Structure 1
């Protein structure tokens, strides 16, 4: 058994609506079903969704503030006023700044631009920059992806005689800045019909209001980049903007974007949202995280391919350094959280801070911590000299982190963001109280169900439905991202034909699965650890995304695994090990490296005859011995029998003396998921399945032998072993059954045959029945192969549950 990482939710499914849509649009059934599960069941809406155009974009003048901004910018351009573009250091802010630079170049404006340093200055407008702008003769500032919370800074700009036009998309605070005008679709009074634009989307709307149909289509590349990188919903007009932008990228007008795509491994063909999200965005963000964002802006605004390629290589190197730095901080953060977890004090909201931690990467660290612990997480870097803490937060559905920070605003110097991600700064002296306040807020918001991560699957299907033509049709649903995820399909009960690790250090997993005769390869990135927990006999349930694998001119379907589950017990065959203790230690170390098993969930079981000291030193593996009455009992004095319920992985070192003990053991390990067999396969004292013929053979011999002067038990057993080839252990069972039936009497080393035995049938003896069950158990566990053993243990578990 392998538990899924997520709780799987299946979207509601309307079979009749899907059939109608399939017939009306003449599309594959799977594509029709996916449209319906996404709330698109009307044929007209579906056609528009599959074949959209720029005609679907909203009028920019519907956005509050644009009507005031356009004439002010035109006036500044005509009068030769000095204009400052003030941006942000993330990929959305840099895309916005690059787009505004393109606009100002087109307008032939007199302008300059500024991006704050992420760690030295932090997010937002800063008075020293405004003062410098004033000294440079700036009379108009246009912000992009920032400014909606800059109340004091914009007031200071007004004192300097500078007008400020704010274009932003972040959540507006209760008190708004008194700027020349505010452009943000999220303003409570703004009638703009779509609130999900990225910062670059808002900047594009302003540019389009100024240029109209003369707005270059190439600028949509920047819109696509910023929108995808900032995880904005790819719905409504974002879907149109991003799709058009991605189409432009295939033959980009920006040397920097082309250079970055090639650096990230793209060579030719369609540019997808995945190329942007995992190729472009991390490299652009690396500049602000590791150095200054100006280097990324230089790439985006480069006019020479030679210069762009050189800059792109430098960003790629920065990104690699960033990856290593993140790994180091994540490791340190995990140790701190694990200490709280071990002490039983893991809070609902995790706050970790470290001296000297690079504040440029703490958001990524927070994401990785959230992925492991599934709790709202805040990670802060502490400036040792000043005590100032700057950090980033990542949250889970149902917990608005921006609202939580607002609850703590008295402790914060600055904060801003979205319900799922935010940034903040405060002094280290307030950290403890800050954590307390956050968890106080969480106690009124979070419920147990919030801490269970979920994965939404669009629908359940069979492998035969996932064909190459169908996957090509599914591409019409793109671009994929927030609000319009790549279709996720649930496949149940697939046979596992082959599995292996791939990539550096076996980081990834590749499966070959089969169902109803259809066979397909499936790849699980970052899940190579699962390899140790798979068996050839496994039947897997998968949540997957479908794609196309192109190699050497061939194209075939390929699945990308999002989550995996094995819903049945698994048996691993390591019978006849040279040293059970060493083998268990080896297996334990491998298993604990996975995130699917934890210390305390593993146990080893054997008889009291086994050398339990061989495994007794293994930390995190409990030791149990077989017990006639209860099935098992703790092998260590400090253990409690109730601990058996926590066991999910069982190492069987030796078999018990009876099937009854085995069944009682299974009754105790009620949450068992996997069994590792490490017992010897052969035994000189084999047990036979009881038969009337064998018992008759022994009884006749005893009656004859008992007529002699002495009927010594040891002599009888030796003679029976020699004459009939019966093992000593088997003979003991037979003699015990004869005693139970009152056929013989055993005592003082002698056997006496009753002259007038009872007439009870052989099968009525409980010992006879127990012997049959024991023989069956040993035959299966000693001699059968894993499929038969798995089926037998599964039946045993069902029988005792």
Structure 2
């Protein structure tokens, strides 16, 4: 990695990836690809021709057989046995996109296997009334309803007490989760299917919960004549949950799911609910890309949980029998998404003011406000993400209600958030917590928030340096403007789908500003030229830098090449991530 400590206009530093020339030459030669595409592969950890071949051609065959996964066979025996005896089965999913799509996936397969709706029920906790995860109330209601098998999707890996309660009431528990088990100890009272549990030999550790549900569906449908076709159809939904949950798209399995799901979505959906959702997201008349999963479809599914409190309405949407029935439901979900955006915008404005007034020197921001004042429990997580994007510091944002702080945190790559929460909460600081290195949820008594703030910053000062708090962008190489052709951009498309672990290739171009315009009072448009060519540069939502970029200024622009289609013409443009004076 080559570091250039010059700061950009945004205050960031840029780091050029320096791949092994030997690896690049081998991939370019053996695969017949351009050295630049080969360099991008090596920069993403793809160094062998065999893995590169699979990476460039995602296929469901790349997903390892689920059978080696611990406890999967036992879970399948329990479910098929329950169905054959017409026992009551209940699926409980998380209220986010991953949990919801996983729940729907598993429920659809149980329906296909011949279950009746009165035998297989479902439940999604209410975010504000019940909070994250399994809770005693869910177990008690399931027992009262005569449920004999309870399956959790995307929750349950830390619910030791709840699974004990289930077993005491004669309920067999199946926990389908992809989160890291705290302290590596999984519940002993449930059949736990989680590749991340200590010692599990299954090689694919990065599947989302909906991906695990798809794998369970694969096992349930084994040897059925139409099983492969059903699984391909299910990837449309599983691709949305996979992308929305920010699991790595460097994983061959996740790449395969997202790529196959996109192929299916672009052919249209026979499910009226999904078709209506694509309509309100304005995706029914154009090619759908991976980013649309994360910025159009996923947020609408999540909005129900964030604003309504639960995604039960999303399940009802996908249960619609006709488009006429589905459209009003999709429109309601779309309205919730608009409301979520408004609530989020107002909350982020409050957070920025709080940071300016009182928290500038913190290594970790811990910010809290009353639920009644707009600090909605369903929005604090994405508001924390915005804080991390702006300030490049870990951020925990809490909604205060009835004496309890319900919090959600987001982090930077240098700071493992779940390890930090384990360290500061080792003596029982939290009522409940869990999550990933980059994102976590928690709750604790309001009066202990100052203690959380103090402990986290003490821990952060031991594990982070001031340089860690400077935003750093990594890029794949420098390019002359003349190289930014349509053919070049198309060659990079083989690296899609992009996401966590496989970012879109970024390059640095250099030139002088010939023209400058502000678009819609938000975006900055530049015409950049060097001795051989010129190109249009778009810097979204960064009109505030216009005064620092007058005509004739020599600049370096970090970003990604793109193809603009207008009136049937295809031209290249450059989407800026950052700019610095040359």
Q: TM-score, normalised by structure 1?
A: 0.68
The runs of 5 or more residues in structure 1 that have no matched partner are 568-801
Output the CA distance in 2 between the equivalents of 1:105 and 1:498.
60
Which of 410, 425, 430 does residue 448 from structure 2 map onto? 430
- Measure how far apart 1:390 and its partner are: 0.4
The runs of 5 or more residues in structure 2 that have no matched partner are 1-6
5 Å-filtered alignment, 1:218-367, equals: 218-234=233-249, 235-250=251-266, 251-291=268-308, 292-341=310-359, 346-356=361-371, 357-367=375-385
**Any idea what SS the aligned residue of 1:119 has?**
coil
Which of 58, 61, 64 does residue 52 from structure 1 map onto? 58
Are the aligned partners of 1:64 and 1:191 in contact in 2 as well (CA < 8 Å)?
Answer: yes
Which of 450, 455, 460 does residue 468 from structure 2 map onto? 450
Structure 1, residues 186-222: CA drift from partner, whole Å, max 9, x if none?
0012111111110101111111111126151111112
Which of 217, 221, 225 does residue 207 from structure 1 map onto? 217
5 Å-filtered alignment, 1:272-671, equals: 272-291=289-308, 292-341=310-359, 346-356=361-371, 357-383=375-401, 386-409=402-425, 410-491=428-509, 493-503=510-520, 506-567=521-582
Output the CA distance in 2 between the equivalents of 1:32 and 1:348.
38
Greater mean alpha carbon deviation, residues 80-89 or residues 18-27: 18-27
Matching residue of 1:130: 139
Cα 1:294/1:182, change in 2 over 3 Å:
same
Are the aligned partners of 1:247 and 1:270 in contact in 2 as well (CA < 8 Å)?
Answer: no
- Measure how far apart 1:516 and its partner are: 3.5
**Any idea what SS the aligned residue of 1:486 has?**
coil
- Measure how far apart 1:14 and its partner are: 4.1
Q: How many residues align?
A: 559
Matching residue of 1:647: none
Are the aligned partners of 1:34 and 1:459 in contact in 2 as well (CA < 8 Å)?
Answer: no
Give the number of the structure with larger relative contact order, counting CA–CA contacts within 8 Å between residues 6 or more apart.
Answer: 2
Are the aligned partners of 1:147 and 1:166 in contact in 2 as well (CA < 8 Å)?
Answer: yes
Are the aligned partners of 2:98 and 2:208 in contact in 1 as well (CA < 8 Å)?
Answer: yes
**Any idea what SS the aligned residue of 2:163 has?**
helix
**Any idea what SS the aligned residue of 2:54 has?**
helix
Output the CA distance in 2 between the equivalents of 1:17 and 1:411.
49
Greater mean alpha carbon deviation, residues 244-253 or residues 32-41: 32-41
Cα 1:440/1:36, change in 2 over 3 Å:
closer
- Measure how far apart 1:2 and its partner are: 5.7
**CA RMSD between the two structures:** 1.8
- Measure how far apart 1:20 and its partner are: 5.0
Are the aligned partners of 2:396 and 2:408 in contact in 1 as well (CA < 8 Å)?
Answer: yes
Structure 1, residues 530-574: CA drift from partner, whole Å, max 9, x if none?
22321101112111112211122121112211111113xxxxxxx
Cα 1:281/1:36, change in 2 over 3 Å:
same
Structure ID, larger Rg: 1
Are the aligned partners of 1:326 and 1:364 in contact in 2 as well (CA < 8 Å)?
Answer: yes
- Measure how far apart 1:51 and its partner are: 2.0
Cα 1:510/1:266, change in 2 over 3 Å:
farther
- Measure how far apart 1:508 and its partner are: 1.5
Output the CA distance in 2 between the equivalents of 1:442 and 1:37.
29
Structure 1, residues 467-515: CA drift from partner, whole Å, max 9, x if none?
1112112111111000111111121x21212221113xx1112222123
- Measure how far apart 1:320 and its partner are: 1.2
**Any idea what SS the aligned residue of 1:22 has?**
helix
Matching residue of 1:77: 83
Output the CA distance in 1 between the equivalents of 2:127 and 2:186.
24
Output the CA distance in 1 between the equivalents of 2:475 and 2:453.
35
